[in-house]
Amino acid sequence: MNVTVVLAIAAFALSAYGTYDLVYRRVQARKKSFTDADRSVVTSAVELIEPYRVRVRELVEYVSELEAKLKDANRLIDKLTREVQELRTQVGAMRDTIED
Amino acid sequence: MSTPSAIVDDRRNPFHVLLLVACVLAGAGGLIDPGRGSTVIRQYFAEWQLYVWYGGVFAGAVIALGALFIGTVIGYYVERIGLYLLAGLCLSYTAAIALGGAQFLALGGLTVLAFTTACIARLARIHSILRHQ
């Protein structure tokens, strides 16, 4: 049997090993599915996180309210600025009248 | 921080895909008529062994090519199966040319040797990726 044939056989053997490794890992991965103990750990973790989740949601709502108030305040400032501008114009006109 | 090799690894580049397509075609051609295939390989294999050899090249290339389209880590395991076949069979082809002597440094010999080296390098890369999983 020459080197060429030996190498070809080695190729098939390695490929068969690769197939075995793939199947073995798939089987191992299936075995590692969740047990009841794992589920209970996850449930406890979710319960632990829940109050913080509620608190975060409240904070987000509070920030939204503040944002709405800030928008209102900005609108009011714009309106007042416009009114002051009008008053200034009126005062200027009255001063001109008095000077005349 | 570990390198996210699996994320940055670019598997479906045209060069990679077309090389494997070429192997699929070469394997299929040999399976259809092994007598008209490479004279080098015919010196070392019996006729039924030629079918196995070309079948191996065809199967290896199809498996490695198909694996490129599996998005998960399983794709690397499947690609490895195909590349083991391709690398080993191309190495046997290189050995056949080397045993033939004079033709080894000719274009055909060097090309197959380069492809074999590329397969081995790719296998090393896959091993490195799988070790970090």
Contact A14 B85 (CB under 8 A): yes
Report how many helices (DSSP H) and strands (DSSP E) chain B contains, helices first. 6, 0
pLDDT band with cut points at 50, 70 and 90 for residue A3: confident
| pTM of the full structure | 0.64
**pLDDT the model gives residue A68:** 96
Distance of residue A73 Cα from the nearest chain B Cα, in angstroms: 47
pLDDT band with cut points at 50, 70 and 90 for residue B82: very high
User: Any residues with CB less than 8 A from the CB of B21 and at least 6 apart, and which?
Assistant: B61, B65
Q: What is the mean pLDDT of residues B9-15?
A: 75
Is the pLDDT score of A83 beyond 80? yes
Contact B84 A4 (CB under 8 A): no
Average pLDDT taken over every residue of chain A: 90
Mutual angle of helices B47-67 and A3-31, in 10-degree steps: 40
Contact B92 A15 (CB under 8 A): no
**DSSP-assigned states of every residue in B23-58:** HHHHHHHHHH-GGGS-HHHHTTS-HHHHHHHHHHHH
Give the Cα separation of A87 and A36 in Å (integer): 76
**DSSP-assigned states of every residue in A10-45:** HHHHHHHHHHHHHHHHHHHHHHT---HHHHHHHHHH
Best of B39, B44, B97 to disrupt the A interface (most A CBs within 10 Å) is B44
Q: What is the mean pLDDT of residues B97-113?
A: 73
Q: Do B27 and B86 form a contact (C-beta atoms < 8 A)?
A: no
**pLDDT the model gives residue B2:** 45
**pLDDT the model gives residue B102:** 53
Q: Which of A82-96, B22-36, B66-80, B89-103 has the highest mean pLDDT?
A: A82-96
Q: Indicate whether this complex's ipTM tops 0.90.
A: no
Give the Cα separation of B15 and B47 in Å (integer): 32
